[in-house]
Amino acid sequence: MRVRFAPSPTGYLHIGGVRTALFNWLFARHYGGQFILRIEDTDEKRFVADATDDISASLRWVGLDWDEGPDVGGPHGPYVQSQRQALGIYQQHSEQLLEAGWAYMSFTSEEELAELRAASEARGHKAFRFRGPERDWPLEQQREVAASGKPYTIRLKLPLEGETRFSDLVRGGSEIVVQHEQLQDIVLIKKSGMPVYHFAHLVDDHLMGVTHILRAEEWVPSTPYHVVLYQAFGWQVPVFAHLPVILRQDGKGKLSKRKDDVATNRFWERGYLPEALFNYLALQGWSYDDKTEIMSRDELVSRFSIERVQASGARWNPEKLRDLNGIYIRKLSAAALAEQIEPFMVQAGLLSNPPSADEQAYLLRLVPLVHERLEELSQAPELLDFFFQAVRPGPEGYDPALLIPKKLDAAQTLSMLRAAHGALNIVEDWQSAKLEAALRDLSERLQVKVGPLFGTVRVAVSGRSVAPPLFDMLAALGREQTLSRLSLAAAALA
């Protein structure tokens, strides 16, 4: 079994493209087939030079590899269509169709076509199905006009009558039937000589021995053309499986580059783990059973089956992705998480670039404090910044009013802070359990509940009311910083 992912380098790789690639990859790995990457750069107008690199890098980041492709080579290369075009592959095959009477040279220009289309619409016919007059000319006549220098395209000579049918693995094998009167003579070769998708992908799929075509649902309407073309060549029609589109969050249309944050290369900087994205994407349009959701790459490979792919579209659900990402973050070891977080800390200016060994050690020490509070790696700096920056009450810092617990006043808070300073100051062994004992003891002596006391200390030390567990925090912060921050807080209330 051989499958492929064939993106066109018109920009960064869309997350929906990754899902398509992922299903192809899972299919190939599950059945022990080959997964091919092929670059379809036949659109000269939309070509983006570094898009191919982005596609490769994005796929690799998510954890996909390919058996044959532009950078790894293979027996059916080259794997870039512009290079195949230079070899004359498409020209040779279109010639074959021309000779066999399955295609013809069309001399109708784009301008004329636009006029015809407009006129058709003006007459109330919204469906414009073009069939060039040359479809009935002898091939020699077509060649003569072409020889005169008139630009032309090569179009499929679609049978006027009849219908074309094909089945789809995702849609339970029931046949999709399309009447030929609904179809038109599509362009196969542009006037530039470059093939169009419908032609190029098909020739390549055949030449590369692709057996199964897993692609997005938006290709269903053009599949009849492809089937006709396979028949015209006398080639075996591959098995089709059209994957459901990923819909926008509001359900209005498919994910779009313009309206949604779908650049694969941005998920890293947004704090997502590739394993989480991989797992999430596998669940967009596919499921294993009624319970299992968290699955490793290996588990996904062994469990994947095309029969369980959903036919209906799946909405993009960022909250679910976040949840999954949190689960995968919690699976990381402290050291691994520290390593993942480091770039974000550097980026935020909390660590030097590159970080010193001391900084790295300190970060590793802090990681357990935020480990299970992280849903995105990018949240780390905001959760940890006060360990690296001065914390003070006032205009440049936190609001001193935060220090005062409910039902208490400034004077009471002040004495609490002073007492806390005193109690902590005499702790000899600066570690979490000892610090906790000291403050619990203080709460009893002061006849103050633990909540307000700890809360005030938390604000004094972190500048916020929501923070990691207090005593681990104090222990990591150190005696000097803790005591000075308590003094600063007390001064603000004095």
Partner RNA sequence: GCCCCCAUAGUCUAGUGGCCUAGGACGUCACCCUUUCAAGGUGAAGAUCGCGGGUUCGAAUCCCGCUGGGGGUACCA
Sign (positive or negative) of CA dihedral 318, 324, 327, 332 = negative
* Contact status, residue 98 vs residue 199, Cβ threshold 8 Å: no
Cα 389 to Cα 464: distance, rounded to the nearest angstrom? 13
Asked if 206 contacts 199 with a C-beta cutoff of 8 angstroms, the reply is: no
Nearer to RNA, 6 or 332 (CB): 6
CB of 30 to RNA, least distance (A): 17
Q: At what angle do helices 89-100 and 223-233 cross, to 10 degrees?
A: 80
Nearest-approach distance from CB 115 to RNA, in angstroms: 12
Evaluate whether 2 touches 212 at the Cβ level (below 8 Å): yes
* 389 DSSP assignment: S
Choice from 100, 160, 450, 494 touching RNA (CB under 7 A): 450
Interface of this chain with RNA, residues 115 to 134, rule: CB under 7 A:
117, 126-128, 130
Closest CA to 182 of 157, 203, 162: 162
Q: CA torsion, points 48, 51, 53, 56, in degrees to nearest 10? A: -150
Instruction: Assess 171 for contact with RNA (CB under 7 A).
Output: yes
Query: By C-beta, is 314 or 346 nearer to RNA?
Result: 314
- Please report the sign of the dihedral spanned by the C-alpha atoms of residue 314, residue 315, residue 316, residue 321: negative
Which residue type, as a one-letter code, is found at position 38? R
Q: Is 466 in the site for RNA (CB under 7 A)?
A: yes
Our finding on whether 197 is near RNA (CB under 7 A) is: yes
User: Phi, psi (5° rounding) for residue 163?
Assistant: -145, 165
> Is 257 known to be catalytic?
yes
Span interacting with RNA, options 91-99, 134-142, 211-219, 334-342, rule CB under 7 A: 211-219
**Tokens describing residue 399:** 């609001």
Q: Does 284 bind RNA (CB under 7 A)?
A: yes
Please state the closest distance from residue 283 (CB atom) to RNA, in A: 5
Residue 337 touching RNA (CB under 7 A):
no
Among 470, 475, 492, 493, binds RNA (CB under 7 A): 470
The active-site residue, picked from 190, 191, 257, 434, is: 257
**Rule CB under 7 A: is residue 404 a binding residue for RNA?**
no
Q: Which is nearer to RNA, 259 or 361 (CB)?
A: 259
Phi/psi at 292 (nearest 5 deg)? -75, 125
Among residues 293, 299, 339, 359, which is the contact residue for RNA, using CB under 7 A? 293
Determine, following the binding rule CB under 7 A, whether residue 178 of this chain makes contact with RNA: yes
Q: Which of positions 37-76 make contact with RNA (CB under 7 A)? A: 40, 42-43, 45-46
Specify the residue, 160 or 361, whose C-beta has the smaller distance to RNA: 160
Question: Least Å distance between CB 25 and RNA?
Answer: 18
Question: Of 359 and 367, which has the nearer Cβ to RNA?
Answer: 367
Q: Is position 283 an interface residue for RNA (rule: CB under 7 A)?
A: yes
User: What does the alpha-carbon distance between residue 368 and residue 363 come to, in Å, rounded to a whole number?
Assistant: 9
Can you tell me the distance from the alpha carbon of 213 to that of 206, in angstroms, rounded to the nearest whole number?
11
Which residues are designated catalytic? 257
